[in-house]
Structure 1
Amino acid sequence: MITIGRLTPDDRTAWRELFAGYNAFYGRPEVPEALFDRAWTEFQADTRMHALGAKADGKLVGITHFLVHPSTTAADVCYLQDLFTAPEARGKGVARALIAAVADWARERECSRVYWSTHETNATARALYDKVADNRGFILYQIALQPPR
């Protein structure tokens, strides 16, 4: 049985491992510990950035991070920024349950939609996403900015 809930201080070590796994999956460089600390502090405050965890048999097996922002054409929207399931828990409904929990959370706060992106080569995730959401065909662009010196 999968349970979904807010991350607690006791979840920090397992969350850190899952989040590192998420970043490794996407080939990102090693994340400085200060950024893990910042994210964790934000998730515990639960005001600007939010996180939920999925547990199976009391073990954290999935995480999601999300935030709300204004929209120019609708009520606020919820951006599901990160979603990761432990390899041993994949195919067991963890990601689907996390997405549903974020949608419920956003609905309770009267957001107009939940959206996210994934890499085009992430076929496993896309197979699920195509079942639970609409692919509206948008392509993501970004400009990496250097912090001010």
Structure 2
Amino acid sequence: MPVIRATAQHLDALAPLFDAYRQFYRQAPDPDGARRFLAERIARGESVILLASGDGGPPTGFTQLYPSFSSVRMRRVWVLNDLFVAPEARRSGVARALMNAARDFAREDGAVSLELATERTNASAQALYDSLGYERDDAYWHYALML
């Protein structure tokens, strides 16, 4: 299954997928905002976005990775922040292909880990992550300060 790194040329296909992803997480539709947000990330080199096409046609899924670092290990960490597959393309291997491409990208970049989080209720995503060898972190509590 073809997986490519998105560029500004892919915004027309990517933005609707990104907006649908946001709506999955209970956000109001904002196609213009989605496009602007992605255009900024790509232009500034602030994220890596991978696109997949299940049948070689238009993209049906994406994942977005953000860079971080491990001070203890003194190496890069990639955060797999977003993963979305269009409903009509689910259960066709798109998510697995995106996850494998993200893993390969992080390895080639010399990262120490590829990390992600998902809602506790997202059983299908958890099953995918488990099947790919991801380990649930029970050693640390993660906190967030919403601003």
Give the TM-score normalised by the residue count of structure 2.
Answer: 0.86
Q: Which residue of 2 aligns with 1:78?
A: 78
CA separation of 1:3 and 1:35: change in aligned 2, threshold 3 A: closer
Kindly report which structure 2 residues correspond to 1:102-141, keeping only aligned pairs within 5 A, or say none.
102-132=102-132, 133-137=134-138, 138-141=140-143
Q: How far is 1:32 from its partner?
A: 7.6
For the residues of structure 1 that align with 2:43 and 2:100, how far apart are their CA atoms?
21
- Whether the aligned pair in 1 keeps the contact of 2:69 and 2:77 (CA below 8 Å) is yes
Residue segments in structure 2 that go unaligned for 5+ positions in a row: none
Higher mean C-alpha displacement, 75-84 vs 20-29: 20-29
For the residues of structure 1 that align with 2:9 and 2:109, how far apart are their CA atoms?
27
- Whether the aligned pair in 2 keeps the contact of 1:11 and 1:60 (CA below 8 Å) is no
Q: How far is 1:89 from its partner?
A: 0.9
1:14 to 2:13 alignment? yes
Kindly report which structure 2 residues correspond to 1:1-149, keeping only aligned pairs within 5 A, or say none.
2-31=1-30, 33-34=32-33, 36-44=35-43, 47-56=45-54, 57-74=56-73, 75-132=75-132, 133-137=134-138, 138-145=140-147
- Whether the aligned pair in 1 keeps the contact of 2:8 and 2:39 (CA below 8 Å) is no
For the residues of structure 2 that align with 1:4 and 1:30, how far apart are their CA atoms?
26
Q: Secondary structure at the match of 2:70?
A: coil
The aligned amino acid for 1:142 is A
Q: Which runs of 4+ in 1 moved over 4 A?
A: none
Q: How far is 1:44 from its partner?
A: 4.9
For the residues of structure 1 that align with 2:95 and 2:43, how far apart are their CA atoms?
21
Q: Secondary structure at the match of 2:53?
A: strand
Give the TM-score normalised by the residue count of structure 1.
Answer: 0.85
The Cα RMSD (Å) is 1.9
